[in-house]
Amino acid sequence: MSLFCLVHGSTQNASCWDLVIPELVQRGHEAVRMNLPTNEPEASATRYADVIAQAIPADRDDAIVVAHSASGLFLPLVPEKRRVRRLVFLAAVIPRIGKSLRDQVIDDKGMFNPEWLGKDPTKDEQIARQYLFHDCSPERTKWALSTMSLMFARQAIVEVCPLNVWPAVPSSYILCTEDRAIQPEWSRRAARERLGVDALELPGGHCLYVSRPAELAAVLGALP
């Protein structure tokens, strides 16, 4: 049995995990989640990491923290605040020591789909359907749209990564082969270069927890 700490990305709130959690519980696991401080644009990455860490019971040291999309920025800061077993980047950015996310985007044009950059799917359902939920049924998409919430982490995007050294915690990367936000080829390369692992590849778009919750739960549950 594992305890999964599920961290939403920048376009949905914590309810986006509602389809995955029953799948994890059915497999004998536990899960916690949290709403990140979406109303604090000046919050640092450390502030977000504090909120994530607070969702993990202090007496647990076996949590697997799963961060989606932009929340990959905060993920490697969590082990400084709670003992965790594994970090999982789910279709997520990976911070680079000495650089901000803005710097990374400028330096590496292959990171994001250029057609996705600058879009706000919380204000335009068609954008959400095209880039986030294109592999979902109409019924599933309708539900997913009800979970939309913008996390405009302005300060966390422009600040230099606050890490001095990468945490000594095993990491995994789950890549979505039909991702229309973060480029799959970038994810493959970054997972090898920054995490020293080959990405686990699953069919589906950027929000796999919506389109394929059972398949995602199975992969998460099989992690060491």
Domain extents in the chain:
3-221
Return the pLDDT at 187.
Answer: 98
Return the pLDDT at 87.
Answer: 98
Residue of 135 and 38 predicted with greater confidence? 135
DSSP H helical ranges for 27-100: 45-54
Taking the alpha carbons at both ends of the chain, their separation in whole angstroms is 11
Average pLDDT over the chain, rounded to an integer:
97
Structure confidence by residue, pLDDT tens digits, 42-89:
999 999 999 999 999 999 999 999 999 999 999 999 999 999 999 999
140 vs 138: CA distance, rounded Å? 6
Q: For domain 3-221, which CATH number applies: 3.20.20.100, 3.40.50.1820, 3.40.50.720, 1.10.3720.10?
A: 3.40.50.1820
Q: The whole model's pTM is what?
A: 0.97
- The CA-CA-CA angle for residues 221, 169, 189, to 5°, reads 80
82 vs 209: CA distance, rounded Å? 25
Return the pLDDT at 52.
Answer: 98
**207, 198, 195, 146: which is closest to 171 by C-alpha?**
195
Burial environment of residue 83 by CB neighbours within 10 A (0 to 12, 13 to 18, 19 or more): middle
- Confidence grade of residue 38 (pLDDT, cut at 50, 70, 90): confident
**167, 174, 152, 194: which is closest to 48 by C-alpha?**
152
